[in-house]
Amino acid sequence: MRIATWNVNSITARLPRVLAWLEGSGTDVLCLQETKCTDEQFPREALRELGYDSAVLADGRWNGVAVVSRVGLDDVAPGLPADPGYDGRTEPRAIAATCGPVRVRSVYVPNGREVGHPHYAYKLGWLEALREAVAEDAAGERPFAVLGDYNVAPTDEDVWDRSLFEGATHVTGEERAALAALRGTGLTDVVPRPLKYDHPYTYWDYRQLCFPKNRGMRIDLVYGNAAFAAGVADAYVDREERKGKGASDHAPVVVDLDV
């Protein structure tokens, strides 16, 4: 089966591309982030016409996550039990579902804004809540993966110029330690490097010609447990989907799984 994750930066703005990509790529399960819509606005019917069911957690602001699947959608679990919340509210940043033989969790990790900002502390607390939430599935025998926009570059090789990120979020020791703790539950990064390019980035800012100049970051990740990792037959970043008019600033990350 083919499983993918994609920060679409507004499902409403990106819907024609998402539908065309699903139809052309043969993807069975797609984890979405940054849907930027209400639950009612999510295009369930358009996806259903292609054969996909949808599990959605959205509130119409800048966040929102979903899992769409054509191989089953059961045991949906929105949110994180120990979500720390931010500014008095719980944001829609995580949703889990069982799709056929695989359980997935779509996540949109907080950005953090800047080191020392309350949002940075929230990001670290949220990653700890994620670690607690996935520990049982990560240690289990059923194939399981946490897919999404982590807003953390795991290594210096995952940003186009590390010197430009000095003192900034996404590359700090604390954030990377939080990722290491998450992997410590039994998860591994199942997308190998290098892929088809020297630097398989997944995100490029819209500004300053970052995509044509390949000034990107690898922050969209697939962390799978042992059963999931053992079934990975192929993995790639669909860089072509970042091209052209109306593209998201993120590219889909795709994993082919032999279960």
Q: What single string gives the DSSP state of each residue in 16-77?
A: HHHHHHHHHHT-SEEEEE---SBTTTS-HHHHHHTT-EEEEE-BSSS--EEEEESS--EEEE
Flag residues of the chain having pLDDT under 70: 193-199
pLDDT digit string, tens, across residues 119-137: 999 999 999 999 999 999 9
Q: What CATH number is associated with residue 154?
A: 3.60.10.10
- Number of domains composing the chain: 1
What does pTM read for this prediction?
Answer: 0.96
- pLDDT for 39 equals 96
Structure tokens at 253: 């990350």
- pLDDT for 195 equals 53
pLDDT digit string, tens, across residues 137-161: 999 999 999 999 999 999 999 999 9
CB 229 within 8 A of CB 3: no
Q: Which domain, by its residues, includes 225?
A: 2-257
CA 74 to CA 253: how far, in whole Å? Answer: 23
**Alpha-helical runs (H) found in 50-164:** 118-139
- pLDDT for 62 equals 86
Instruction: Name the burial class of residue 199, with classes exposed (0-12), middle (13-18) and buried (19+) by CB atoms within 10 angstroms of its CB.
Output: middle
- pLDDT for 61 equals 80
CA 127 to chain centre: 13
